[in-house]
Amino acid sequence: MADQQNSPAGPDLSQGVALSEFSGDMLLGHVGDDEVLLVRSGSEIFAIDAHCSHYHGPLADGLVDGESIHCPWHHACFDLRTGEAARAPAFNQLAVWKVERDGDRIVVRQKREQPKPRIGGAVDAPSRIVIVGGGAAGFAAAEMLRRQEYRGSIVMLSSERAPPVDRPNLSKDYLAGSAPEDWLPLRPNDFYAGADIDLRLGTEVASIDAKTRNVLLAGGQSIPYDRLLLATGAEPVRLPIPGADQAHVHVLRTLDDCRAIIASADGARRAIVIGASFIGLEVAASLRAREIEVHVVGLEQRPMERVLGAEMGDFVHALHEEHGVIFHLSDTVTSIDGKRATLKSGGVLEADVVVVGVGVRPRLSLAERCGLAIDRGVKVDAYLETSAPGIYAAGDIARWSDPHSGEAIRVEHWVVAERQGQAAARNMLGQREVFDAVPFFWSQHYDVPINYVGHAEKWDEIEVDGNIGTRDCVVRYKSGGRVLAVASIYRDLASLQAELAMERAAA
């Protein structure tokens, strides 16, 4: 029985499969212990590793579009010909396999020599690129610059102490105690020196001089640039209430923040989470996994209603209650005195640890002081360039003209930040790539993933296909009959199809 469970899926491709057995787009099989996916694209058949290099998502459940395959879990995209991780959140290339024909059989026996990723062809390679920010966008940009065979200097400045980490994990598995810390780095520590990326941690940028093209560090040093990427992200809003500065009251943005919460949670019996949106509720779920009693205090009547609508909000509320979370909605904390938190409604809650998750503010001060055009974020053009030539912006700070919604939007999504970092990198090399990716985010609550594509700040209709309560649904947010965004639970293919349809409609 155990052997059966461990045996790789599908037919043994090294023995070959008859063409007649491969009627659809994809066929999952194996070569030795490796699971390999046969993929039909037009008249060609490709063979590629069957699992995504991000979190091991099953590509057989994904979507094939031309010569690329999209992962069902967080929408990474791989080039079928080269295995390249063409779009974040995956960065590592997949192995591609040699497809042979033996009469009417398809046989796969060996990996192809790892092909080179496609190079966009730099037209204007500057000699010095500086990246301010060691998060999603900054990392993705640095990695893409080297993937594009950029050979000039890259200096990456980050005020964090840790090299770039998988930030979404900080409110999920790592906080829950189910992921070891060595899962967090986006790349091993020696990657940066190996790729000749001068990563300077614990380094605060004080200002930028756009005229002389210099970045000034808080320590006084000046670093010249030809192209600059600003990717300073966002910072958690802190509550202006008495007692919010105590050691057991936390916000969550960095690995250090997360370690501090874990230290406070160690031996804690009860926690208060202030804020009932994505981060707050993910934190609540993770603290429940540590068997801590969790009280969530939120101003809203329904968690997540503003982003996901009333019915999804009720579902998320009920899901957390099923897991023992106690809600105090339409309420807030007015002061924290030691372990006693006073609610606006008058009650008092006692807790050993408090996590404040009431939203973030984009870190705009460098951009503002440097004189960049600002509109509730750093304004960027279709190529992610700011109002100052040579300075680009990406991630949580950037407001760009989204071709799908037709609006200038700014979002706080991991995958968007990474994809903007990648596009900005190519544009800093002169490749003139319009940033037109449809926004995507995911959120995880216990065993329930919620995927969301598009962008809907308001809607006049919500259409539910399937059943939210049984965790099998596609929820469409519409305005004037047009689909602006799609949320889904366990309907990954529909989510990928919605993303593709939005991309095509905007093209």
Ligand X SMILES: Cc1cc2nc3c(=O)[nH]c(=O)nc-3n(C[C@H](O)[C@H](O)[C@H](O)COP(=O)(O)OP(=O)(O)OC[C@H]3O[C@@H](n4cnc5c(N)ncnc54)[C@H](O)[C@@H]3O)c2cc1C
Indicate which of ligand X, ligand FES, none lies near residue 52 (CB less than 5 to 8 Å, by partner kind).
ligand FES
Indicate which of ligand X, ligand FES, none lies near residue 366 (CB less than 5 to 8 Å, by partner kind).
ligand X
CA-based nearest residue to 285, from 470, 489, 451, 447: 447
Choose between 404 and 419: whose C-beta lies nearer to ligand FES: 419
Strand 17-18's sheet: what is its strand order?
17-18, 105-111, 96-102, 44-49, 34-41, 26-31
CB neighbour list of residue 4: distance below 8 Å, 6 or more residues apart: none
Q: Which structure tokens are listed for 176?
A: 């829950």
Choose between 94 and 129: whose C-beta lies nearer to ligand FES: 94
Q: Does 232 bind ligand X (CB under 6 A)?
A: yes
Distance of alpha carbon 96 from alpha carbon 24, whole angstroms:
20
CB neighbour list of residue 345: distance below 8 Å, 6 or more residues apart: 328, 331
Choose between 168 and 280: whose C-beta lies nearer to ligand FES: 168
* Piece of the chain touching ligand X by CB under 6 A; list 285-293, 299-307, 439-447, 479-487: 439-447
Say whether the peptide bond before residue 89 is cis (omega within 30 degrees of 0): yes
Specify whether the CB–CB gap between 111 and 22 falls below 8 A.
no
* Piece of the chain touching ligand FES by CB under 6 A; list 17-25, 66-74, 154-162, 460-468: 66-74
Q: Does 60 bind ligand FES (CB under 6 A)?
A: no
Report the relative pairing of strands 407-409 and 398-402 from DSSP bridges.
Answer: antiparallel
* Piece of the chain touching ligand FES by CB under 6 A; list 73-81, 139-147, 369-377, 499-507: 73-81
Q: Least distance (Å) from ligand X to the CB of residue 217?
A: 8
Mark out the alpha helices in 37-187 (DSSP H runs): 136-147, 173-176
Binding residues among 87-106 for ligand FES as defined by CB under 6 A: 89-90
Q: Does 168 bind ligand X (CB under 6 A)?
A: yes
CB neighbour list of residue 306: distance below 8 Å, 6 or more residues apart: 277, 300
- Member of 30, 74, 227, 295 binding ligand FES (CB under 6 A): 74
Q: Which backbone phi and psi does 267 adopt, to 5 degrees? A: 85, 0
Specify whether the CB–CB gap between 140 and 419 falls below 8 A.
yes
* Run of H or E residues at 314: helix 310-322
Q: Does 490 bind ligand FES (CB under 6 A)?
A: no
Indicate which of ligand FES, ligand X, none lies near residue 204 (CB less than 5 to 8 Å, by partner kind).
ligand X
Q: Does 52 bind ligand FES (CB under 6 A)?
A: yes
Choose between 69 and 137: whose C-beta lies nearer to ligand FES: 69
Q: Does 396 bind ligand X (CB under 6 A)?
A: yes
Q: Does 379 bind ligand X (CB under 6 A)?
A: no
Site residues, ligand FES (CB under 6 A): 52, 54-55, 57, 71, 73-74, 76, 89-90
Site residues, ligand X (CB under 6 A): 132-138, 157-160, 167-168, 170-171, 203-205, 231-234, 252-253, 279, 363, 366, 395-396, 412-415, 417, 441-443
